[in-house]
Amino acid sequence: MRTVAIIPAAGSGNRMNRDVSKQYLTLAGKPILVCTLEVFEACPLVDALLVVVPSQDMESVRTDILDPWDLKKVAGIVPGGKERQDSVRAGIEALDGDTELVIIHDAVRPFITAGLIENCIRAAEAEGAATAGVPVKDTVKEVGPDGRILRTCDRSLLWLTQTPQVFRRDIIESAHRAAVRDGFRGTDDTSLVERLGIAVRMIRGDYGNIKITTPEDLVIAEALLAASR
Ligand code: CTP
Ligand code: MG
């Protein structure tokens, strides 16, 4: 199936609290965005990449971030939107007519592996929709507004959701259309699909597939990088 990966990289990284958005920060001299794109470049099941960036960065991302690296699969640079969901939708609207399978993967998860991408692709080919995730390690509590615990969740059922999230094109298109129609906002793309009653397969990901979000994640990222060498 013709498979295109949309890489949302249009955030401003508020929780990282740095002058430059976190997707442009470097790990061992390489922008995090490039580290992520290189894994998709090396994955034979991925045909093309669409990178969604802040609209004011369209030119600088091309010249300063993408051009210096040998990225042959980048088929387009797309201006993002206010929230992640808007940026992903912009990517979906930019898909070419031949695309059959759509991967969505955060630019700031550079420790993704080709193997995990492939596992998610195979599952979505077979079942329509799949996401990577990992079982939670800690005990999770629901806490009320007064700060008191309401209940302890059954840990054996709980997973933390990651990306990649992979969908048959018609499924993710209709999910985003329905979200716009209903004014629904989700924090990931599978939640838009789940609310249509469509089953999503959970694929066991890697605990190392972290989303670089807050300053301590950069320390963890450096350590993961060092360990992988
Ligand atoms: N993203 C995006 N468009 C937005 C917001 C986020 O493309 N309007 C992307 C980010 O660039 C990132 C991914 O979605 O690759 C995951 O989002 P998150 O970790 O929340 O990144 P930011 O929104 O940049 O960070 P913060 O929420 O701390 O501001
Ligand atoms: Mg955000």
Residue 125 confidence (pLDDT): 98
| Dihedral (Cα; 130, 131, 137, 140), 10-degree rounding | -90
pLDDT for 222 beyond 90: yes
The class (CATH top level) of 3-228 is alpha beta
Identify residues whose C-beta is under 5 A from ligand 2, the ion: 11
Give the integer Cα–Cα distance in Å for 218 and 222.
6
Mean pLDDT score of the chain: 97
- C-beta 37 within 6 A of ligand 1: no
* pLDDT band of 229, cuts 50, 70, 90: confident
For residues 15-34, average pLDDT: 96
Query: 150 C-alpha vs ligand 1 centroid, how far in Å?
Result: 30
Percentage of the chain beyond pLDDT 90 is 98
Smallest-distance ligand from the CA of 22 = 1
pLDDT for 37 beyond 90: yes
For residues 208-217, average pLDDT: 98
pLDDT tens-place string over residues 88-126: 999 999 999 999 999 999 999 999 999 999 999 999 999
User: Would you tell me how many other CB atoms lie within 10 Å of the CB of residue 68?
Assistant: 11
| Nearest C-alpha neighbor of 21 from the set 48, 61, 50, 49 | 61
Give the integer Cα–Cα distance in Å for 204 and 179.
27
pLDDT tens-place string over residues 157-197: 999 999 999 999 999 999 999 999 999 999 999 999 999 99
Give the integer Cα–Cα distance in Å for 27 and 102.
27
Domain map (residue ranges) of the chain:
3-228
Angle at Cα 37 formed by Cα 42 and Cα 54, nearest 5°?
160
- C-beta 9 within 6 A of ligand 1: yes
Dihedral sign (CA 12, 85, 54, 74): positive
pLDDT for 86 beyond 90: yes
Identity of the amino acid at 137? K
Give the integer Cα–Cα distance in Å for 14 and 198.
33
Residue 44 confidence (pLDDT): 98
Residue 131, strand partner residues:
165, 202
- C-beta 165 within 6 A of ligand 1: no
